[in-house]
């Protein structure tokens, strides 16, 4: 049973979060403040550390840096309200308004991701390098974001077509046969619904990877929380590898 360290300032939120994690089958260490958290972290092995939004940024980062330095495999979740500051130590960030159930799903996702990394590390070579015959459609919110994402994917050996709006998505689906469609984060709910409907009409059998979500908003899509180039490339390779072996059901990246 995995143990979770939940750190916060507000006792009522700590209690609710602890109860939600325990109900999901986790052992939970819960505390207020970074000093007590470090003591608990030294005492027990924790798979995930969840740091509440009310913990001061400097104190939060000090604790996260300590966790990263002493136990690199431990996953770190930052909760935030309003906007997330200085999130470089986080493996995932969650708006506190998403609620404790979403925190639980985020923790579960991070643990599954760690298991996949271990699996691929012990079976190196199981995920073959992609060639330029692997076609991806990358949908992004801006030209600058699209260029950065395309660069990392092309360097990993994929052939990438970019799209910034519905017209470009429709045109791309009519001109090319894609192996995977990537929908970037920060796309608004209405736009995402329009994208999902368009893809359903024009690319119905192509798997979709939705970035920035634990639970995908596009029905049947895979999902990945992280937005780093390395994590994106790894997720793409895992999905393409699985699509060649498994039926197109249960598509979430688990």
Determine the 3-state secondary structure of 84 from DSSP.
Answer: coil
CA distance 139 to 69: 35
Structural domain contains residue 248: no
Comparing C-alpha atoms, which of 189, 182, 192 is closest to residue 231?
182
Place 194 in a pLDDT band, splitting at 50, 70 and 90. Answer: very high
Comparing C-alpha atoms, which of 145, 40, 39 is closest to residue 18?
40
153 and 113 co-located in one domain: no
Question: Across the chain, what does the average pLDDT equal?
Answer: 84
Of 122, 149, 165, which marks where a domain is finished? 122
Of 122, 146, 180, which marks where a domain is finished? 122
Structural domain contains residue 249: no
150 and 180 co-located in one domain: yes
Domain range enclosing 144: 135-243
Structural domain contains residue 127: no
90 and 174 co-located in one domain: no
Structural domain contains residue 9: yes
Alpha carbon dihedral 51, 118, 228, 220, in 10-degree steps, equals -90
Q: Would you tell me how many other CB atoms lie within 10 Å of the CB of residue 70?
A: 11
141 and 55 co-located in one domain: no
Q: What is the pLDDT of residues 72-88, one digit of tens each?
A: 889 999 998 877 778 88
CA distance 114 to 120: 10
Structural domain contains residue 70: yes
159 and 226 co-located in one domain: yes
10 and 101 co-located in one domain: yes
Structural domain contains residue 250: no
Residue 4 burial (10 A CB sphere; 0-12, 13-18, 19+): buried
152 and 109 co-located in one domain: no
Q: What is the pLDDT of residues 95-153, one digit of tens each?
A: 888 889 989 988 988 888 777 666 555 444 454 555 456 899 999 988 888 898 899 89
Of residues 241 and 69, the one with the higher pLDDT is: 69
CA distance 159 to 182: 13
What is the total count of domains within the chain? 2
The whole-number pLDDT of residue 251 equals 44
Structural domain contains residue 193: yes
Structural domain contains residue 117: yes
Q: What is the pLDDT of residues 40-49, one digit of tens each?
A: 998 888 999 9
Q: What is the pTM of this model?
A: 0.55
């Amino acid at each position: 049973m995995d143990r979770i360290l939940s750190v916060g300032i507000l006792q009522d939120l700590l209690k609710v979060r602890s109860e939600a994690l325990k109900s999901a089958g986790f052992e939970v260490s819960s505390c207020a403040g970074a000093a007590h958290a470090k003591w608990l972290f030294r005492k027990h092995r924790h798979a995930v550390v969840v740091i509440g939004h009310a913990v001061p940024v400097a104190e939060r980062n000090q604790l996260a840096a300590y966790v990263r330095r002493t136990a690199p495999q431990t996953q770190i979740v930052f909760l935030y309200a309003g906007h997330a500051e200085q999130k470089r130590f986080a493996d995932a960030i969650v708006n506190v308004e998403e609620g404790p159930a979403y925190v639980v799903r985020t923790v579960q996702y991070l643990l599954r991701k760690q298991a996949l990394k271990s699996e691929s590390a012990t079976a190196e070579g199981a995920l073959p390098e992609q060639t330029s015959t692997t076609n991806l459609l990358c949908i992004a919110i801006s030209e600058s974001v699209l260029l950065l994402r395309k660069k990392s994917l092309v360097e990993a050996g994929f052939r990438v077509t970019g799209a910034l709006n519905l017209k470009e998505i429709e045109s791309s689906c009519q001109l090319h046969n894609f192996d995977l469609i990537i929908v970037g984060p920060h796309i608004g709910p209405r736009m995402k619904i329009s994208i999902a409907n368009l893809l359903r009409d024009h690319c119905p059998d192509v798997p979709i990877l939705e970035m920035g979500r634990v639970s995908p908003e596009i029905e049947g899509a895979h999902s990945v929380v992280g937005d780093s180039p390395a994590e994106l490339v790894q997720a793409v390779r895992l999905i393409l590898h699985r699509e060649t072996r498994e039926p197109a059901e249960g598509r979430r990246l688990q």
